[in-house]
Chain A
Amino acid sequence: MVAVEWCFRLTSVALLHGLLRAASAAPVLEEEFYENLKLTPLPDGRLLTRFDFKTLLRDAAPRAPHTLAEEDEPQHYNLFPLALGQLLREHAVTELHLTLNAGQWNYAAWGQPEDSGVATGAELWAWMGESRAISVKDRWKGITNGLAGLFCATLGGLDVRRTVSPSVAFQPEGDIPSSTPHHLLYAPLPSESVCTENLTPFLKLLPCKSRSGVASLLNPHRLFDADWHGMGVHVTWEEGLGVMVRMNFVAVYNPTRLMGLQNKRDWSFRLLFDRSITRACPVATRSAIHVALPSEGNFRLEPTAHSNLGNIAIFDVSKVQEPLELSMKWPDESEFDHTSFAPSLSPPLTVRRVLTGAGQSQGALAVSLSNTNTETMRVAWVETMPWFIKFYLHTLEATIKGERRNDLVKLVTYAPTSSSSQAPTLLESHVTIPGNTTLRLTIDLEKSFISYTQHPPAAQRGWDLPGGIIAFTSHSSHRGEKEKELREQRIYTPILLVDLPTPDFSMPYNVIIMTSTLVTLLFGTIFNMLTRKFVWIKLHE
């Protein structure tokens, strides 16, 4: 009995010792947390609000893919989101981007967004190093399912039927370790929408949740009432700096709508979020609110900013003693005049993309790219189509004012779909658009006839097709740093809805019965005739 007790004690001491050793073996990394809210009044009377939460794991490196077969070294996080960190370690992800957006970003009125990822629906792309232990594709499966669970989104649908590996348009935003060859996997899910169930897990990943600091303004009732809203999670690694997780939430509010009958563009925290900041997040290294001041018009921003940097008023949340309640008013304006705003933010390139063709089985995709600059522009054009849409590449045609100019399109990748793998079609090409012209690209496509079991439950609603992507590859007027910035910019076109020809969903038994009857009739009659003997019969009368 005593021996047993001693054994037990010894084991527990050994266990404790082991745990302590494990804890001491884990390198204690320095963590930093930054939060920022940026409010930008837009020319069309709307207000762009952008929440940015940055967590930096200083001097950390992504897990080397060749160690996937071994047990991972223990990690200890204080501020870094644990659930996300575990997922990244488990699958050795170097860089990851997830965006969940609702609505279509209005490039003409709101300009190019700070983060290019404004595709409607969900979009996920990740860079992963090759590993002999577990393939990139298997890890991708793990990531999509893990993120689906983490963010309560249907990301599990980002399987092989959605995933492609584009070679242009997506550049790593951070650094990629040169020791292992890396692969990019990209998957859009246009039918996914973002709502409260995604925001709650998002807030859980923040060190102060939504209890204090800038994050306390994230009120789902108000955020999801905005004209456009979306969230993003971006994980990057920079050599010499560490692993950084940037989580952001962007909402484009329409104060004129929120103001009710007054039709004014005045805004306040109370109006936008129905909340105010009562205390700062104690673990934040820096916590600030930036308000971009309009260049013209008589406006009043309250309270007074702690500092100004050019056209930006800066409020330091950590200095706040009483509840912070920002507001901006245009006292001279009795009503916002929607007709007065000039599209000053209009981007150098506008893109339109439509499906043409009236029939149910044949159609065409038409993309028109208008270059409003005087200089020639080179962009990358990327199309990802689900397996039931088939392109006819030989019909790809570029025209300027009806004149055929196929020399302006240079095909980079064409990976056609096949019904056996159900992988999407990937079409990537470089497009040159001369200054002040509109280039029209058309390509014929076929809407496949698919089996009745492959249709979704509400087949007549149609299928959402992902938007096209236009990425700036180089820009003749910009060089150096500016060019790198431009290269990371992408324009997403609106998503499309396509209706496939549908069979009758109530017919399986009928069709099996009727076709089989016909075949049997044919078979029976023919074999009857071939096997039976002909005889003469004497007829009566």
Chain B
Amino acid sequence: MKASSSPTASSLGLKVVLPGLLLFRLALLATPLPRFFEHDHQLSSPLTSFFRLQEGIFLYKNGIDPYAGDVSRVSPLLLAIFSTVLQLPLPIISVLWTLSDVLGAWALVSIWRARSQTVGTKTEGLVAAAYLLNPYTLLPSLARSTSSLDNTQHILCLLFAALGKSSPALFTLAFLTHSSLTSVLLVPPVIMLLLSGPTSSLAAPRPAVISIKKALYLASEYFVYVALLAGISTFVAGSWGWVEKTWGAIFLLPDLTPNPGLWWYFFTEMFDHFRPFFLMAFSIHLLIYVAPICIKFQYAHDPLYAAFLLQGIIATCKSYPTLSDPGLFTSMLTIFPEIVPHLRHPLPTFMLHLHSALLLLLFHDLWLVQGTGNANFFYASTLVFGLANGAAVVDAIWAGLRISFGERGKGWAIAQL
């Protein structure tokens, strides 16, 4: 590994930034912000709301089946963990969320180290700050949305995969699948990452050598973990009822609580007889991106980049997104600094994000708190937000493909035929 050249860069790096950010995040917990954000629909969905998790824990402890009703939609694994090991008072739980975010930031930095084969560069501080100060990840964490924990698991899974530790990576992914089923889309890029290593060759693509046999072996290992955890979940919940309430909800959208995604208003306004068709269409739509992106970027020899792009697509198109999903996507951009000059339309994308972030807050408040706006206003801002996320994904795909062509000087331009 290449050590950093100057000692000042190292001192400005992670050792200062990470504790500083941790202190800042802890200070935020002392403000009334967490209470203010607790019920915000943009920060926690019905599947990730901490308030609902608490209800589930309460019902579970009092011998009432938490999956009999509609309120508790968290994985039985979280229910088991939070009703036994992490049975803590609320302020400590909030600290736990912050620590989980810090762990995520550290893991992201470690991925950067593995990828760039460097230690102690300035980028490390930037990567950590981009994760810990990103409002999209910061606010859901303050609201104690379990999507923050999902993000940490997501990054840890990628870190283990980048370090070539197959079992921890697959187990973390299986656990993540239990709390957020959409993450199953990450299985192909994670297996590719395990088999090819984290270093990037985006700029000089060549076909990756991936053994199908090994890939199938890893995939079956992953499914064994999922089945094992499903068995534990059923044991914890006492019945298979959790499958319908947690995983089923992702396909069937029984709860139409607003979120920044595209599904909720679409299915609120859907004609009853078309509902099953469009539910199917929206679910399958998410699946179709996996193969093309993995195939295209295996030549670029960068499955990590494929995982990054898929996260962007998940964040845009999943059924119950929160702000932390696009938050993870935007923060992950910092571990691919080389693509930044090649982003297709960075300014319009940034403006769209800024625009929709302000509109989301405003129109959500106007509709549901002040009672002066109506649902269409918030829907419109989620559309802009979807557009912003989509534009970011498109930018990133363009940049990832464009980078290998380098520059040819004045008078030349790149185009697609």
Residues of A within 8 A of B (CB): 358-362, 390-394, 411, 414-420, 425, 446, 448-453, 501-504, 507-508, 511-512, 514-515, 518-519, 521-523, 525-539
Contacts and interface: CB of A to CB of B under 8 A. Distances in A.
Contacts of A390: 69-71
B71 A449 contact: no
B254 interface: yes
Interface in B12-71: 39, 41, 51, 54-55, 57-59, 62, 64, 68-71
A492 B302 CA distance: 67
A511 B58 CA distance: 38
Contact of B383 (A518, A530, A534): A518
B285 A523 contact: yes
A507 B376 contact: yes
Interface residues of B, number: 67
B269 A393 contact: no
B401 interface: yes
Contacts of A527: 292
Given A418-B68, A449-B258, A535-B415, 6 more contacts: A390-B71, A504-B375, A508-B271, A515-B262, A531-B292, A534-B405
A501 B285 CA distance: 29
Contacts of A511: 265-266, 268-269, 379
A418 B245 CA distance: 10
Contacts of A501: 367-368, 375
Interface string B365-391: 001110100111001000100110010
A69 to B, nearest CB: 33
A533 B386 CA distance: 27
B362 interface: no
Contact of B412 (A391, A449, A536): A536
A503 B268 contact: yes
A44 B319 CA distance: 59
B257 interface: yes
Contact of A530 (B269, B292, B411): B292
B98 interface: no
A350 to B, nearest CB: 30
B289 interface: yes
26 contacts: A361-B41, A394-B57, A416-B69, A416-B71, A418-B69, A419-B70, A449-B255, A503-B265, A504-B269, A504-B375, A508-B271, A511-B379, A512-B270, A519-B282, A522-B316, A522-B317, A522-B386, A522-B390, A522-B393, A526-B313, A527-B292, A530-B296, A532-B416, A535-B416, A536-B413, A539-B411
Nearest to A451: B268
Interface in B225-277: 244, 254-258, 262, 264-272
Nearest to A521: B390
B393 A359 contact: no
Contacts of A537: 412-415
Nearest to B371: A360
A418 B264 CA distance: 18
Interface string B391-416: 00110011001100100100111111
B51 A392 contact: yes
A492 B264 CA distance: 37
B293 A507 contact: no
Contacts of A449: 255-258, 264, 268
Contact of B293 (A414, A448, A530, A536): A530
A446 B58 CA distance: 17
Nearest to A518: B386
B2 to A, nearest CB: 31
A535 B405 CA distance: 9
Nearest to B368: A360
Given A359-B369, A360-B368, A512-B269, A528 B416 contact: yes
B417 interface: yes
A526 B266 contact: no
Contacts of A530: 292-293, 296, 397, 401
A93 B26 CA distance: 64
A411 B63 CA distance: 12
Given A417-B70, A448-B255, A527-B292, A394 B54 contact: yes
Contacts of A450: 256, 268
A361 B375 contact: no
A535 B414 contact: yes
A420 B253 CA distance: 11
A360 B367 contact: yes
Given A394-B54, A452-B268, A534-B405, A539 B68 contact: no
Contacts of A415: 68
B415 A503 contact: no
B397 A529 contact: yes
Contacts of A414: 59, 64
B50 to A, nearest CB: 12
Closest 5 A/B residue pairs (Cβ): A416-B69, A394-B58, A532-B416, A522-B390, A511-B269
B369 A358 contact: yes
